[in-house]
Structure 1
């Protein structure tokens, strides 16, 4: 009897898990810029691995341009260093103006 109850309970849990899904987490507004920062970093530093990632923030550069900044931790062999990636773009159209790399600590 106990095995039958456990079996029914397991089947009920399985059916609930198949039909109930959690809502998808909203993507942060800087996510597309973070992907671009990582893609450009991999092209510029092809031998390095990105081992950590931080969104530093967005700032307004001019009335029509903004800049997203990311800090990536890179590793190539025994060398580990931080890299700031600055992506400047037109705020309204999101057209990329410039991408700058700045090695830092």
Structure 2
């Protein structure tokens, strides 16, 4: 019994010391928030409003298109309702100086 207790104490101390030696490990695993994140949140919110009976099951940031007067963030969301699964391309056009939304477009796809 003493051997088992001693083994457990050594194991816990080793684990604790390992964490103390590498405190940066947990922080290193956190990724920075991408610049399109707030637009992705808006894309999901507006898609859910447009398709209230569907569940969003996947999300992809397709890319960004920058023009002289506006920027467009492009997303593809995959939805599922009682009858089907389908994709929705969501484009959010906004003024990059003010972040004011100019237009949001939706386009369904089967792929």
Aligned mates of 2:51, 2:85 — CA distance in 1: 12
Q: CA RMSD in A?
A: 2.1
1:102 aligns with 2:99: no
**What's the TM-score, normalizing by structure 1?**
0.85
3-state SS in 1 of match to 2:46: helix
1:8 aligns with 2:10: yes
Tell me the CA shift for residue 64 of structure 1. Answer: 2.1
Q: For 1:62-81, list aligned pairs within 5 A.
A: 62-81=67-86
Tell me the CA shift for residue 6 of structure 1. Answer: 2.9
Tell me which residue corresponds to 2:63. Answer: 57
Tell me which residue corresponds to 1:42. Answer: 48
Tell me the CA shift for residue 75 of structure 1. Answer: 0.6
Aligned mates of 1:8, 1:77 — CA distance in 2: 55
Higher helix share: 2
Aligned mates of 1:14, 1:78 — CA distance in 2: 52
Higher strand share: 1
Tell me the CA shift for residue 78 of structure 1. Answer: 2.8
Between structure 1 and structure 2, the one with the greater Rg is 2
Structure 1: give runs of 5+ residues left out of the alignment. Answer: none
Structure 2: give runs of 5+ residues left out of the alignment. Answer: none
